[in-house]
Every structure is written in C-alpha cells, then in structure tokens.
Amino acid sequence: MGDMIDARGLSCPQPVFETRKKMLSLSHGNFTVLVDSPTARDNIIRLAAGQGWRTVVETSHDEYTISLEKTCGDASQIFSAEGL
C-alpha cells in the first residue's frame, strides 16, 4: 500500500485539499486517506471519481478509510474498447 494521509479532526475543505495535493503528485499508484466526517468522505470520493481514481471506503465507528488508486491507463478507453 502507498502513503497515508491522516485527515481526522481537520475541518472541510482541508481533507479534500490534502487529498488533491497527493493526487496531483502521482501519475499512478495508491494511497489512503483517513477522515472522521461523512462530508469529507463524500467530497473526497467525488473528487477522486472526477479525476479517474478508484475508491474503496471502509467504515469503522465514526471513521472512514478511503483507499484511492490510479492506474496508468484510462478506464474510459477500456470500457469503450469493450463496447460498454
């Protein structure tokens, strides 16, 4: 697994800013973000989806672990090639 950003306790939009900064530093790879706000969780998922990153969210009590992954290829090209 890649790096981890612990954004628990940070007010929005700081978790999103930290996530975006990490996303911009990687052309591909993965990292994890920890947040304790459903709003931060939703905003990070929305940001990642808009930039072509895959997300997996795990919930434990009032905390969310968001795993983000970006591969070298463009997923839309893969789906298009398969006729989906």
Q: How much is the pLDDT for 2?
A: 58
The answer to whether residue 50 is domain-embedded is yes
- Tell whether 48 is covered by a domain: yes
pLDDT (mean) for 47-68: 96
Cα 19 to chain centroid distance, Å, stands at 7
Q: Express each pLDDT in 3-49 by its tens digit.
A: 999 999 999 899 999 999 999 999 889 999 999 999 999 999 999 99
Q: Is 77 a domain residue?
A: no
Kindly tell me if the per-residue pLDDT of 81 is higher than 60. Answer: no
The residue ranking higher by pLDDT, 76 or 7, is: 7
**Domain presence at residue 13:** yes
- The number of folded domains in the chain is 1
Q: Can you count the helices (H) and strands (E) in the chain?
A: 3, 4
Full domain range(s) for residue 52? 4-70
